[in-house]
């Protein structure tokens, strides 16, 4: 999760007004990619390592691909990463970026499509190891990697490609060009969208002269940290016949959403506006899938009972979400709404049980590191502590990398994504060299 202010892809860090903006805006003001799109037909892929019939005919089938932009030299990459607030110390290649649209399934298992960002190194090796990056929370469809050029949600994908890997980033269901509403914090659909994006990337890569290796390095930030663990679990369970998990590096996740995050939110331990936005998104998004209430007025106070649900329709910006919600939980929630989050029962308890199992119901065989920031104001650090303890109970010693009191636009939570990116790029490179 991350409902945040992050600069748009062009000049955001240079804008003093942006620096003074409230630091909690739903993943920010996406600047649509302006580079001309070069369409690729979705015909039968050229010769590539064998794919299963399942992948060819269903999930992961490539529908279309567009060339979005090229950062032709390492210097060009470094300049844009720097403008987005990210380090450039691991940049070795230029990068070319594509938006892929592919077939997948929705949260109910029905056929749908989704989009994502694929980044490839210019003059890189023919055989590339994929790095899957799952992004943090956004409220608008454009708050996703394939819709923003080297911005907060796409910079890590660019950084991994600039270091010589294939960066693969799902936009998630209902984000990017995908139809419908986004099923926020729904680990099963985040997993299927991530896995099928990898399959689409593998199908498309030969058109660029590349082949994706079997081993996948998996990372993700905030909401995407749990999504990364879900993808890693699926890969180790053999849900794909080609890809296998190489390493896991989630960052600042809400891994224990029901047991750590929601209690901290209700106790006032998060940044106040973050608490309001996450409480609203939790009730709205989980109600869409699990039916928590019949009428918004059961959980939201007047006047928000008539407006809040529409704010999470994928068409409202972070600024609109900020303006359309109150400053405190007491103004937002009814007594029943607060009680539902404080003592989840029925469908919500069952759904949180699935969400909170990403660190407890499996034992990764691949190396794992958990990244966090001291004093994270959005994802309390107990989440990481509980994840580490859950993995240890299953025999997995996953070290925690404390990034310290890092900062990005006044947020340690956002700062952890920036600080972790270079560290993870280097760690993945070290693992490849072993």
The predicted pLDDT at position 368 comes to 98
The predicted pLDDT at position 57 comes to 55
Of 8-17, 121-130, 356-365, least confident by mean pLDDT is 8-17
pLDDT (average), residues 252-274: 96
Residue 16, pLDDT > 50, answer no
Contact 225, 134 (CB under 8 A): yes
CATH topology for the 12-256+356-432 domain? Rossmann fold (3.40.50)
Report which of 251, 255, 81, 55 is spatially closest to residue 152, judged by C-alpha positions: 81
| Domain ranges across the chain | 12-256+356-432, 257-353
- Work out the burial of residue 37: count CB atoms within 10 Å of its CB; fewer than 13 is exposed, 13-18 middle, 19 or more buried: middle
Residue 433, pLDDT > 90, answer no
Report which of 104, 50, 61 is spatially closest to residue 241, judged by C-alpha positions: 50
Contact 104, 59 (CB under 8 A): yes
pLDDT range class, residue 127, cuts 50, 70, 90: very high
Contact 66, 98 (CB under 8 A): yes
Q: What is the pLDDT of residues 283-335, one digit of tens each?
A: 999 999 999 999 999 999 999 999 999 999 999 999 999 999 999 999 999 99
Residue 17, pLDDT > 70, answer no
Find how far residue 351's CA is from the centre of its chain.
19
pLDDT range class, residue 432, cuts 50, 70, 90: confident
How many Å from the N-terminal Cα to the C-terminal Cα in the chain? Answer: 33
pLDDT range class, residue 47, cuts 50, 70, 90: very low
**Do the domains spanning 12-256+356-432 and 257-353 agree at the CATH topology level?**
no
Q: Percentage of the chain with pLDDT > 70?
A: 86
Sheet of strand 211-221, all strands in order from the earlier edge strand to the far edge? 38-40, 62-71, 95-105, 111-121, 166-170, 127-134, 211-221, 244-251, 370-372, 400-402
The predicted pLDDT at position 22 comes to 37
Residues 6+ apart with CB under 8 A from 383: 253, 254, 255, 256, 257, 260, 261
Q: Percentage of the chain with pLDDT > 90?
A: 85
pLDDT (average), residues 359-381: 97
Distance of alpha carbon 163 from alpha carbon 238, whole angstroms: 28
One-letter-per-residue 3-state SS of 298-322: HCECCCHHHCHHHHCCECCCHHHHH
What's the whole-number average pLDDT of the chain? 89
The predicted pLDDT at position 221 comes to 98
The predicted pLDDT at position 434 comes to 56
pLDDT range class, residue 95, cuts 50, 70, 90: very high
Tokens representing 10 are 């062009």
CATH of domain 257-353: 1.10.260
pLDDT (average), residues 253-260: 97
């Amino acid at each position: 999760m991350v409902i945040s202010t992050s600069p748009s892809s062009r000049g955001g860090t240079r804008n003093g007004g942006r620096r003074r903006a409230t630091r909690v805006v739903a993943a920010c003001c996406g600047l649509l990619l302006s580079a001309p799109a070069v369409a690729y037909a979705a015909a039968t892929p050229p010769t590539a390592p064998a794919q299963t019939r399942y992948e060819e005919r269903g999930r992961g089938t490539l529908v279309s691909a567009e060339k979005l932009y090229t950062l032709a030299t390492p210097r060009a990459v470094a300049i844009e990463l720097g403008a987005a607030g990210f380090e450039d110390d691991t940049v070795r290649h230029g990068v070319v970026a594509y938006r892929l649209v592919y077939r997948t399934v929705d949260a109910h298992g029905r056929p749908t499509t989704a989009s994502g960002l694929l980044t490839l190194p210019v003059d890189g090796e023919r055989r590339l190891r994929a790095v899957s990056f799952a992004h943090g929370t956004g409220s608008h469809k454009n708050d996703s990697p394939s819709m923003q050029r080297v911005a907060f949600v796409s910079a890590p994908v660019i950084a991994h490609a600039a270091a010589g890997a294939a960066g693969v980033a799902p936009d998630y269901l209902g984000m990017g060009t995908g139809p419908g509403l986004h099923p926020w914090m729904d680990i099963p659909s985040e997993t299927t969208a991530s896995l099928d994006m990898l399959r689409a990337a593998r199908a498309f890569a030969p058109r660029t002269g590349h082949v994706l290796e079997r081993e996948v390095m998996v990372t993700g930030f905030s909401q995407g940290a749990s999504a990364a663990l879900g993808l890693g679990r699926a890969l180790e369970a053999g849900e794909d016949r080609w890809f296998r998990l190489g390493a896991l590096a989630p960052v600042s996740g809400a891994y224990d959403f029901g047991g750590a995050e929601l209690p901290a939110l209700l106790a006032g331990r998060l940044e106040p506006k973050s608490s309001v936005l996450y409480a609203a998104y939790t009730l709205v998004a989980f109600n869409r899938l699990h039916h928590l209430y019949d009428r918004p007025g059961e959980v939201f106070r007047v006047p928000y009972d008539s407006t809040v649900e529409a704010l999470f329709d994928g068409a409202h910006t972070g600024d609109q979400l900020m303006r359309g919600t109150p400053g405190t939980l007491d103004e937002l929630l009814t007594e029943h709404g607060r009680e539902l989050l404080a003592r989840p029962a029925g469908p919500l308890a069952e759904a949180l049980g699935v969400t909170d199992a990403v660190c407890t119901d499996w034992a990764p065989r691949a190396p794992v590191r958990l990244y966090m920031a001291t004093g994270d104001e959005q994802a309390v650090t107990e989440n990481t502590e509980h994840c580490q303890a859950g993995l240890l109970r299953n025999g997995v010693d996953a070290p925690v990398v404390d990034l310290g009191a890092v900062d990005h636009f006044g947020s340690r939570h956002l700062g952890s994504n920036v600080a972790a990116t270079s560290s993870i790029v280097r760690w993945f490179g070290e693992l490849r060299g072993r």
